[in-house]
Structure 1
Amino acid sequence: MRVLHVISTLAHGGAEHQLRLLVRRLPHDCEVVTLSRPGAVAEAWRADGTTVHELGDGGNPATTARLRRLIRHGHFDVVHTHLYRACVQGRFAARLAGVRPVVATAHHLSERSVEGRPASAGVRALYLAGERAGRATIAVTPAVAGRLRAWGVPDARVTVIPKALDAAEYRYDPQLRAAARARLGIAPGVPVVGGVGRLEHGKGFDRLIRAVGAAPGATLLLVGDGPARVALERLAVIEGVADRVRFAGAVGHVREMLCAMDVFASPAGPDSFGLVVLEALAAGLPVLYASCPPLEDLAATRAAVPGSHRLSARDPESLPRALRTELLCHQERHGARLPPRSAGDRYSATGLADSVARVYDRVAGR
Structure 2
Amino acid sequence: MTDRPLRILQILRAPVGGLFRHVADLTRALAARGHSAGVVVDTLANDAQTEGLLAALLPHAALGIHRFPMPRLFGKGDLTTPLAVARLARELDVDILHGHGAKGGFYARLALYGRARAKALYTPHGGVLHYPADSRSGRLFHRIERHLMGKTSAIIFESRYAQTVYSALIGAPKTRTEVIHNGLRPEEFIPIRPAPEAADFVFVGELRALKGVFPLIEALAKVPGATLTMAGDGPDRVALESRIAELGLTGRVTLPGSRPARDIFPLGRCAVVPSLAESLPYVVLEAAAAELPVIATRVGGIPEIFGPTANDLIEAGNADALAGAMRDFLDQPERARVAMVTRLAHIRAGFSVEAMTESIEALYRAARPN
Q: TM (normalized to structure 1)? A: 0.80
Q: C-alpha offsets along residues 127-154 of structure 1, whole Å, 9 cap, x if unaligned?
A: 3333432211111222321233231352
Q: Which runs of 5+ in 1 are unaligned?
A: 179-187
4+ residue runs over 6 A deviation: none
Going from structure 1 to structure 2, the CA distance change for 1:107 and 1:95 (only over 3 Å counts) comes to same
Aligned equivalent of 1:182: none
Q: Per residue, is there more helix in 1 or in 2?
A: 2
Aligned equivalent of 1:18: 22
**1:163 counterpart (182, 189, 201):** 182
**Aligned-partner Cα distance in 1 for 2:242–2:314:** 25
Q: In the alignment, is residue 141 of structure 1 matched against residue 144 of structure 2?
A: no
Aligned equivalent of 2:54: 42
Going from structure 1 to structure 2, the CA distance change for 1:225 and 1:124 (only over 3 Å counts) comes to farther
Q: C-alpha offsets along residues 254-275 of structure 1, whole Å, 9 cap, x if unaligned?
A: 1101122211112224645343
Q: Secondary structure at the match of 2:275?
A: coil
Aligned equivalent of 1:297: 307
Asked if 1 retains the 8 angstrom alpha-carbon contact of 2:12 and 2:42, the reply is yes
Going from structure 1 to structure 2, the CA distance change for 1:83 and 1:315 (only over 3 Å counts) comes to closer
How far off its partner does 1:10 sit?
5.1
Q: In the alignment, is residue 363 of structure 1 matched against residue 370 of structure 2?
A: no
How far off its partner does 1:192 sit?
3.6
Asked if 2 retains the 8 angstrom alpha-carbon contact of 1:208 and 1:267, the reply is yes
How far off its partner does 1:219 sit?
2.4
Asked if 1 retains the 8 angstrom alpha-carbon contact of 2:220 and 2:323, the reply is yes
Going from structure 1 to structure 2, the CA distance change for 1:75 and 1:195 (only over 3 Å counts) comes to same
Q: In the alignment, is residue 64 of structure 1 matched against residue 82 of structure 2?
A: yes
Q: Which amino acid aligns with 2:167?
A: R
Q: Which amino acid aligns with 2:64?
A: V
Aligned equivalent of 1:132: 150
Of all paired residues, the percent bearing the same amino acid is 24
Going from structure 1 to structure 2, the CA distance change for 1:294 and 1:211 (only over 3 Å counts) comes to same
**Aligned-partner Cα distance in 2 for 1:276–1:85:** 24
**2:12 counterpart (8, 17, 31):** 8
How far off its partner does 1:237 sit?
1.4
Q: Which amino acid aligns with 1:157?
A: R
How far off its partner does 1:199 sit?
3.0
Asked if 2 retains the 8 angstrom alpha-carbon contact of 1:7 and 1:35, the reply is no
Q: Secondary structure at the match of 1:351?
A: helix
Aligned equivalent of 2:330: 327
Once the two structures are overlaid, the 10-residue window that deviates more, 206-215 or 66-75, is: 206-215
**Aligned-partner Cα distance in 1 for 2:229–2:106:** 38
**Aligned-partner Cα distance in 1 for 2:284–2:142:** 30
Q: In the alignment, is residue 225 of structure 1 matched against residue 227 of structure 2?
A: no
Q: In the alignment, is residue 52 of structure 1 matched against residue 52 of structure 2?
A: no
**1:99 counterpart (117, 125, 130):** 117
Asked if 1 retains the 8 angstrom alpha-carbon contact of 2:89 and 2:118, the reply is no
Aligned equivalent of 1:152: 171
Asked if 1 retains the 8 angstrom alpha-carbon contact of 2:215 and 2:317, the reply is no
Aligned equivalent of 2:101: 83
Going from structure 1 to structure 2, the CA distance change for 1:51 and 1:362 (only over 3 Å counts) comes to closer
How far off its partner does 1:329 sit?
5.4
Q: In the alignment, is residue 273 of structure 1 matched against residue 287 of structure 2?
A: no
Q: Secondary structure at the match of 1:165?
A: coil
Going from structure 1 to structure 2, the CA distance change for 1:319 and 1:139 (only over 3 Å counts) comes to same
Q: In the alignment, is residue 285 of structure 1 matched against residue 292 of structure 2?
A: yes
How far off its partner does 1:285 sit?
0.9
**1:204 counterpart (198, 212, 219):** 212
Going from structure 1 to structure 2, the CA distance change for 1:322 and 1:56 (only over 3 Å counts) comes to same
Q: Secondary structure at the match of 2:98?
A: strand
Q: TM (normalized to structure 2)? A: 0.79
Q: Which amino acid aligns with 1:52?
A: G
RMSD, matched Cα: 3.4
Q: Secondary structure at the match of 2:64?
A: strand
Q: C-alpha offsets along residues 120-179 of structure 1, whole Å, 9 cap, x if unaligned?
A: 3223223333343221111122232123323135254322212222251363567xx76x
Q: Which amino acid aligns with 2:304?
A: P
Q: Which amino acid aligns with 1:18?
A: H
**Aligned-partner Cα distance in 1 for 2:149–2:131:** 17
Going from structure 1 to structure 2, the CA distance change for 1:20 and 1:311 (only over 3 Å counts) comes to same
